[in-house]
Amino acid sequence: EVQLVESGGGLVQPGGSLRLSCTASGFTLTSYAMNWVRQAPGRGLEWVSTISGSGVSTYYSDSVRGRFTISRDNSRNTLYLQMNSLRAEDTAVYYCARRTNYYDSSGTARWGAFDIWGQGTMVTVST
Amino acid sequence: DIVLTQSPATLSLSPGERATLSCRASQSVGSFLAWYQQKPGQAPRLLIDDASNRATGIPARFSGSGSGTDFTFTISSLEPEDSAVYYCQQRMNWPLTFGGGTKVEIK
């Protein structure tokens, strides 16, 4: 079964750090672009970060760039999100998600939508 | 950033009725638009990609259309289990963005 399981969430003080993990099963992480998407309590979805299958390319939202780092350990089939300098506004459920792969009509490899999601892990930044 | 505006915010309909949701982009996203369903306490679920392609295992009552800046998501005949929030999302440009969501309530 294709599955993503997040862990590592919890309560942290403002300015603190936390590392989230997302372990994949049923597929190989290196074959897909992997992502973190968050959802603040009662709010909508916000894309946070993406890492390519090779790990060479990374992308961040402006709200987390310079504070968060996405990475992967292919030997463990695990995705990470290192979160530093946490703020109250980072409080959210953090989901890891896989993007589909496909080739367009010109033969260009593209990333599609988020087709597989984990169950989410809650991060609360508060005193 | 590309802003996605969803309307209406809430839709309240009876089982068997047709639900029509709108997603408008602040600039063209081509057909690089997806729709997700999220039920309370659950992760989002991919329904539609490329504006109109149903994801694997998604029932035929769910459909999407549109291109450029105006998109429509339709549930042809509502089932009680369709009660959820529906989000559109674009992948034309970084940063990837989501709409604010439409809550579909079943009377």
Q: Token digits for B98? A: 């989501």
pLDDT band at residue B12, thresholds of 50, 70 and 90?
very high
Residue of A nearest to B53 (CA): A113
Give the closest-approach CA distance of B63 to chain A in angstroms: 16
Of the ranges A47-61, A98-112, B1-15, B19-33, which one carries the lowest mean pLDDT score? Answer: A98-112
With CA atoms as reference, the chain B residue closest to A6 would be B43
- A44·B87 Cβ contact <8 A: yes
Here the tokens at position B36 are: 């997700």
Report how far residue B90's alpha carbon sits from residue A9's, in angstroms, rounded to the nearest whole number: 27
Give the residue with greater pLDDT, A63 vs A109: A63
Q: Do A45 and B46 touch (CB under 8 A)?
A: no
Whether residue B49 and residue A62 make contact (CB cut-off 8 A), yes or no, is no
- Comparing alpha-carbon positions, the chain A residue that sits nearest to B43 is A119
- How many CB atoms within 10 Å of residue B62? 19
Length of chain B: 107
Report pLDDT for A102. 87
Band (A67; pLDDT cuts 50, 70, 90): very high
Given a cut of 90, whether residue A87 has pLDDT beyond it is: yes
Comparing CA positions, the residue from B36, B57, B38 lying closest to residue B47 is: B36
Give the pLDDT mean for A81-96: 98
Q: What is the rounded distance in angstroms from the CA atom of residue A108 to the CA atom of residue B41?
A: 37
Is the pLDDT reported for residue B40 higher than 90? Answer: yes
CA R_g for chain A: 15
pLDDT over threshold 90, residue A105: no
Is the CB of residue B48 less than 8 Å from the CB of residue B63? yes
B50 interfacial to chain A (CB closer than 8 Å): yes
Q: Which residues of B touch A104 (CB under 8 A)?
A: none
Alpha-carbon gap, residue B69 to B26, rounded angstroms = 7
Cβ–Cβ contact A118 with B under 8 A: yes
Interface touch B98/A44, C-beta < 8 Å: yes
A 10 A CB-CB count for A44 gives 15
User: Which among A45, A61, A114 has the least Cβ separation from residue B95?
Assistant: A61
For residues A117 and A97, is the Cβ–Cβ distance under 8 A?
A: yes
Peptide bond into B80 cis (omega under 30): no
Rounded to an integer, what distance in angstroms lies between the CA atom of residue A100 and that of residue A102? 7
Q: Any residues with CB less than 8 A from the CB of B42 and at least 6 apart, and which? A: none
How do residues B65-102 score in pLDDT, each as one tens digit? 999 999 999 999 999 999 999 999 999 999 999 999 99
The reply to whether A3 touches chain B by the CB within 8 Å rule is: no
Q: How far apart are CA B33 and CA B84, in angstroms?
A: 19
Give the start-end residues of each E strand in chain A: 3-7, 10-12, 18-25, 34-39, 45-51, 58-60, 68-73, 78-83, 92-103, 109-117, 121-125
Q: Look at residue A3 in the predicted model and tell me its pLDDT.
A: 97
A115: nearest CB among B55, B96, B99: B55
pLDDT digits (tens, 9 = 90+) for A23-36: 999 999 889 999 99
Q: What whole-number distance in Å separates Cα of residue B66 and Cα of residue B69?
A: 8
Contact A114 B87 (CB under 8 A): no
CB contact under 8 A, B55 and A112: no
Q: Which two tokens stand for residue B6?
A: 């969803």
